Amino acid sequence: AYQLSSGNSQGGSAVLDFLLAEVENQRSKICFVLAGYAKQMESFFAHNPGIPSRFPLEVKFEDYTDQELLQIMGSKIDAKYSGRMKAEEGLQGLYCRIATCRVGRARGKEGFGNARAVENLLSVIYRRQSDRLRVERREGSRPDDLLLTKEDFLGPEPTNALLKSKAWVKLQELIGLESVKESIKSLVDSVTVNYQRELDEKPII
């Protein structure tokens, strides 16, 4: 709805004027519902003094809690694989909880997608699983296609990711740049500490 009053919407004002007129003309005949993010909707209502009086009822949908995001993720995995996909530690287990807590940290920020954010997370998880299965088969293993592992949910452990990074290895081969190397190492150390805190289900720092 708020796109109608934005400066980027050509003809938006005309559409909005028509809409407001129709709200009056169709009173008691049609129910009009405007939907959008809270912050932008506040600007939208301030754009025209006639809008608030024509839409007096306001319903706010709260963001999902971490527990609700966890339930959504589990139900989506079950639905996609008809209940056959297993998860290391279980679909209500530690790694699933950490993954959905990461999603939940964006709660309250502009653009937080709730269930859509879980779908985006699952796309990343499935891609990691696909990459892992391909590598394991190449190495001669026979992995379980219906198992999501810790690394699928959380990505590689920070220290391991750094050691396997070609860019990091190449940086170490360069002469000098000690401050750059130390800055990167310090950043990875911080990420590693928070990774362990996640495993302990403690707040990150």
Q: Is the pTM of this model over 0.95?
A: no
pLDDT above 80 (res 203) = yes
Tell me the pLDDT tens digit for each residue of 69-105: 999 999 999 999 999 999 999 999 999 999 999 999 9
Within this chain, do residues 150 and 169 fall inside the same structural domain, yes or no? no
Domain boundary at 122, 139, 155, which?
155
- Examine the domain organization and report whether 79 and 119 are in the same domain: yes
Beta strand 147-148 with 86-87 is parallel
Whether 59 maps to a domain, the answer reads no
The alpha helices in the chain, defined as continuous H runs, are 12-25, 38-47, 50-54, 66-80, 94-104, 115-138, 150-154, 158-163, 166-173, 178-199
Per-residue confidence (pLDDT) for residue 84, from 0 to 100: 97
Q: Whats the size of the chain, residue-wise? A: 205
User: Is residue 70 in a domain?
Assistant: yes
140 and 170 part of one domain: no
- Its domain, for residue 87, covers 64-155
As to burial, measured by CB atoms within 10 angstroms (0-12 exposed, 13-18 middle, 19+ buried), residue 96 is buried
For residue 171, being part of any structural domain is answered with yes
User: Could you tell me which residues come within 8 angstroms of residue 38 by beta carbon, excluding any fewer than 6 positions away?
Assistant: 60
> Which of the two residues, 6 and 182, has the higher pLDDT score?
182
Alpha-carbon gap, residue 35 to 58, rounded angstroms:
10
Judge whether 169 lies within some domain: yes
The band of 24, judged by pLDDT with boundaries at 50, 70 and 90, is confident
Please check whether residues 7 and 21 belong to one and the same domain.
Answer: yes
Q: What is the CATH number of the domain that holds 124?
A: 1.10.8
Token pair listed for 140: 């001669």
- The predicted-structure confidence for 99-144, as pLDDT tens digits, reads as follows 999 999 998 887 788 899 999 999 999 999 999 999 999 999 999 9
- Are both 134 and 104 inside the same structural domain? yes
Query: Residue 39 pLDDT > 70, yes or no?
Result: yes
For residue 60, count other CB atoms closer than 10 A to its CB: 6
Has residue 157 got a pLDDT over 70? yes
